[in-house]
Amino acid sequence: MNKNMENPIKRRVSRKIWVGKVPVGGDAPIAIQTMTNTETTDVAATVAQIKRAQDAGADIVRVSVPTMDAAEAFGAIRSQVDVPLVADIHFDYRIALRVAELGVDCLRINPGNIGREDRVRAVVDAAKDKGIPIRIGVNAGSLEKDLQKKYGEPTPDALVESAMRHIDILDRLNFPDFKLSLKASDIFMTVAAYRKIANQIEQPLHLGITEAGGLRGGTVKSSIGLGLLLWDGIGDTIRVSLAADPVEEVKVGWDMLKSLKLRSRGINFIACPSCSRQNFDVIKTMNELEQRVDDIRTDMSVSVIGCVVNGPGEAKETDLGLTGGQPNLVYLDGKPAGKLSNETLVDDLERMIRERAAQLDEERKNLIAAVSVTES
């Protein structure tokens, strides 16, 4: 997208809630979530995984809490990390009450699964008292038996009807601070369900294609399903569910939002797939370069094009651009800025990217300071 082109995505208006320090819904950026896959009772391993996910850019992390022992471990985990944590709980309301005491930022629990009215009320009262939102999570693989019988199989309407049952319970208890997910492994079912519910409630929607698959297949499936919804303006938080390291979920999530210009973080690389016209090894260069500059958080664009056919044009739209040639030409802000040899290409590119990132950080810092002075 051209730097001056307006983003055509108009986000759905939703109620803003807070998951710890992270705003969700309203005018807040779309938050990226992942989930730990360690044993929660292994506190050290879970803390380490959460910190790696946070370093990769996770805004919120969900932790499974299936037992009271896990609840106690959750308390120890909570004290060692500063990213907002969602406790994933099924059925046992006592676990919800305990993690609420231990500092949970959001409860992932379906009110209709808790049981008696007094137990539901106890959980909701605890959430109200401590300012903890609830996430309702409807999944095609665990629909209520009567809905399975009514519809014969999971359908978008079945997912929505299940969701509305849980929502009605919270409505009766005057608890509006919740977010909702309607997940299936089928893209069409998931997209249709979210589109149906989007105009029926004001609460934030958490997006995901559940059990999407491994790193490659799951990324493709999630990108299509979530991409369709995000293009519609639907979605306030996302999780890319992969049978992979949670860090990979976070990275894919960021790449999705960056591709749709919904959030920015780090370098947006534009690189050609390479062909016989290339004047340097594009694939090798990109593989090495991405690893070297993975730590950079500055919002910037870098084009790496192997020849002069598309190279200059792409370079004009990026903060830093490389065009293969005899010699290779490097551009800064669309203007020629030097020549690079193949022998030291990656070293020189890394150095120039870091220098340009530092310049952009300083420019943006000065701009913010100038605006603050003007407004005061």
The per-residue pLDDT for range 112-149, each reduced to its tens digit, is 888 788 999 999 999 999 999 999 999 998 889 999 99
Name the E strands within the chain. Answer: 17-19, 22-24, 31-35, 60-64, 85-88, 106-108, 134-139, 178-183, 206-207, 237-238, 267-271, 300-305, 320-323, 328-332, 335-340
Residue with tokens 């979920």: 249
> Is residue 1 predicted with pLDDT exceeding 60?
no
User: What is the C-alpha to C-alpha distance for residues 210 and 222, in angstroms, rounded to an integer?
Assistant: 9
Residue of 362, 278, 285, 281 lying closest to 325 (CA atoms): 278
- Assign 371 to helix, strand or coil: helix
User: What is the C-alpha to C-alpha distance for residues 318 and 268, in angstroms, rounded to an integer?
Assistant: 9
Q: What is the pTM of this model?
A: 0.90
User: What is the C-alpha to C-alpha distance for residues 180 and 202, in angstroms, rounded to an integer?
Assistant: 10
In the chain, the percentage of residues whose pLDDT exceeds 70 is 98
> Is residue 214 predicted with pLDDT exceeding 70?
yes
Residue 4's pLDDT is: 61
The per-residue pLDDT for range 45-60, each reduced to its tens digit, is 999 999 999 999 999 9
Domains of the chain: 17-259 (3.20.20.20), 267-375 (3.30.413.10)
For residue 343, the 8-state DSSP code is G
